[in-house]
A and B are shown apart, each in its own frame.
Chain A
Amino acid sequence: MRYLLRKLGFYAIAAWMAVTLNFALPRLIPGDPVQLIMARQAQQGPVPPGEKEALAKMLGLGNGNIFVQYWDYLVSTAQLKFGLSVTFFPTPVSSVLNSSVLWTLLLVGVSTVISVVIGITLGTVAGWKRGTWLDSLVPSTTFLAAIPYFWFALLLLYLLTQIWPVFPGNGGYDPGVTIGWNGAFIQSAVQHAALPAITIVLSSVGGWLLGMRNMMVSTLSEDYVSAAEAKGLKSRTVMIGYAARNAVLPSVAGFAISLGFVVSGSLVMEMVFSYPGIGYTLFQAVSNNDYPLMQAVFLVITFAVLSANFLVDMLYGFVDPRTRQAR
């Protein structure tokens, strides 16, 4: 119970700091941010009426002293009032977000799970067969991890849609089909999701593989593994039941930390593939100087990552009782 409260308290503070950061950022830049933003928006097209007030409110630059402004900002954030989007005027920011979150969740969720499963399986085998040809392939994953993701994805996109048209091009679905729970739409959505999913898996599998492999190597030198070998157990049983089972724990713990990176990776992925998720929304917001939308996307992503982290922490405390005592 104390563990739960402590974690809850930590994530509450983290969420509060994220909101405060969002509040503070526009004040930290020199000059009047509202005028600056309006000037940028004016370069790209007519500024919607009432934008000045909306911007001031969204940025927390309302009337009164700084504490009143801060309180107003907190209240409107708590009520999920993010103002109106400039890009999709006059749609409220919250409904723009509603339509894009599900795309991201599905694609990123599925491809992350695939990547983790493949990485941990391969890492187990590579650690077990240390020093063989399989293990000597491991350093090559560092090359994969050092490739800039967007470059790799654009290259694949070009090769596999233009040179050899194996996959359909940009977007999340064929514009010809209507959105809904019908076969044609689902098939089209899956086809469009395949290539982005492959790029995510390829670029992220190396980290899981390496972590698991190194953990496996240190676990293999533990006495209980030697004891299991000495008992004459089948090497499969030793590998999975004795070594991998204990080596996987840090990977589970690391999963929480890596969620932030997973989300970051998916942002860029969506920008490359024009996939209609939250990252693409952020991209559009950035290129249109749509500050209300941008801040809302940042908050939504942060809250999503924080809650996922909280869930993983709870789960981990349940799986491994030792963490409940550790602070």
Chain B
Amino acid sequence: MTTAPITSTLPTATPPASGSSGGPAAWARGAWRTLRRSRRLTIGFAIITAFVLVAAFGPLLSGNPDAFSQDLSQPPSGAHWLGTTQTGQDVFAQLIASTRGSLVVGAAAALLATAVSIVIGIGGGFLGGWADEALSLISNVFLVIPGLPLVIVIASYVKGSSTLATIGVIALTSWAASARVLRAQTLSLRSRDYVQAARLYGERRWRIVLVEILPNEVAIIVSQFIFAVIFAILTQAGLAFLGLDDPSAMTWGNMLYFAQNAEALSGGSWWWFVPPGLCIAVFGAALSLISFGLDEVLDPRLRVHRPRSGRRTRTKGTAR
């Protein structure tokens, strides 16, 4: 059953059977039901859990990814599940190690970008006036300046220095879009009655932002974070492919870089070139599935089975 491992991914997930009322258990039951309600959400969570588990524990179980052997450019076999590279390294072990590297880069860059976008987006939207003008000007400029050329230029100055630099460069160029979304949402929230009420109570500004506004934007922030992770992993892969990332770091992008440099494809070593790209694609697709699933659950208008749409499809069904 595909949904079996899901329970462990939820932060406070306890089996629904432990029927205590209220508190975290009820919350977990609610989350579990939400998860079950959308098939996309379920599949997405299952895949991401698998990747995270591999990233966390895989490197402990698989062999040394840098170890050389006498089997050069061997196709997949029992000894080497995904074959070997030109220099006899095990592709499967490399893939496992790279999963950890790519996930770390993706999550770190996305966290950084989301943090920046929260500060600039919510800060600007809440403060309003002069600060808002300045902050939204900056985010609009970063939005129109094409990202990848900027990343390439910056990365070529700090060429191959460290993974940290790569994370910083990616975060620098990817916060703008979500800052704009968050600003728009904050603008609409700050004039709501409950925020006005909090102001009349004389609550402090930071308290209003943290307690009244931020919790109501969590759904947007999560969805922006998910897309930031996809963007970060894709950008990192692109940078690594151009040789602009630290080549000693183990990531999917660096695997592709070395595979391409060794002309793995034209040499017929597809087992070296195909898996890293496929991993990126599957991981990214699973993240988007989660994001769409969340949208579906949170925004009833996007849900497929509801009375109105039922009417429309039914009428068309009879017409056909």
Q: Which A residues form the contact surface with B (CB < 8 A)?
A: 10-11, 13-14, 17-18, 21-22, 25-26, 29, 33, 129-132, 135, 139, 142-143, 145-152, 154-155, 158, 162, 214, 217-218, 220-221, 235, 256-257, 259-261, 263-264, 267-268, 271, 282-283, 286-287, 289, 294-295, 297-298, 301-302, 305-306, 309
- The closest CB in chain B to the CB of A271 belongs to B242
| 10 smallest beta-carbon distances between A and B, as pairs | A146-B284, A264-B148, A151-B277, A142-B288, A260-B146, A143-B285, A147-B281, A14-B141, A158-B265, A146-B285
In residues 119-152 of chain B, which contact A (Cβ within 8 Å)? 137, 140-141, 143-150, 152
Tell me the smallest distance from the CB of A49 to a CB of chain B, in Å.
24
- Complex partner residue of B313 from A18, A131, A142, A297, CB under 8 angstroms: A131
* Chain A residues touching B, majority SS: helix
Task: Tell me whether B309 is interfacial, beta carbon within 8 Å.
Answer: yes
A295 and B152 CA atoms in complex are apart in Å by 10
Instruction: Please tell me if the beta carbons of B304 and A131 are within 8 angstroms of each other in the complex.
Output: yes
In residues 279-320 of chain B, which contact A (Cβ within 8 Å)? 280-285, 287-289, 292, 301-302, 304-305, 308-309, 312-313, 316
- Complex partner residue of B144 from A14, A146, A268, CB under 8 angstroms: A14
Q: Which B residues form the contact surface with A (CB < 8 A)?
A: 40, 137, 140-141, 143-150, 152-154, 156-158, 177, 230, 234, 237-238, 241-244, 253, 256, 260, 265-266, 273-274, 276-277, 280-285, 287-289, 292, 301-302, 304-305, 308-309, 312-313, 316
- Complex partner residue of A268 from B140, B148, B153, B253, CB under 8 angstroms: B148
- The closest CB in chain B to the CB of A289 belongs to B156
Instruction: Please tell me if the beta carbons of A221 and B301 are within 8 angstroms of each other in the complex.
Output: yes
Instruction: Please tell me if the beta carbons of B256 and A139 are within 8 angstroms of each other in the complex.
Output: no
Tell me the smallest distance from the CB of B259 to a CB of chain A, in Å.
10
In the complex with contacts A130-B313, A264-B146, A301-B146, A155-B281 CB distance below 8 A = no
- Complex partner residue of B265 from A10, A155, A267, CB under 8 angstroms: A155
Instruction: Please tell me if the beta carbons of B304 and A130 are within 8 angstroms of each other in the complex.
Output: yes
Instruction: Please tell me if the beta carbons of A145 and B266 are within 8 angstroms of each other in the complex.
Output: no
Tell me the smallest distance from the CB of B310 to a CB of chain A, in Å.
8
Contact residues in A for B284 (Cβ distance below 8 Å): 142-143, 145-147
A33 and B256 CA atoms in complex are apart in Å by 30
Apart from A14-B145, A145-B288: 18 A-B pairs, beta carbons within 8 A: A33-B157, A129-B316, A131-B304, A139-B292, A147-B284, A148-B234, A150-B241, A154-B265, A235-B316, A260-B143, A264-B149, A271-B242, A282-B152, A298-B149, A301-B146, A305-B144, A306-B144, A309-B144
Contact residues in A for B253 (Cβ distance below 8 Å): 148
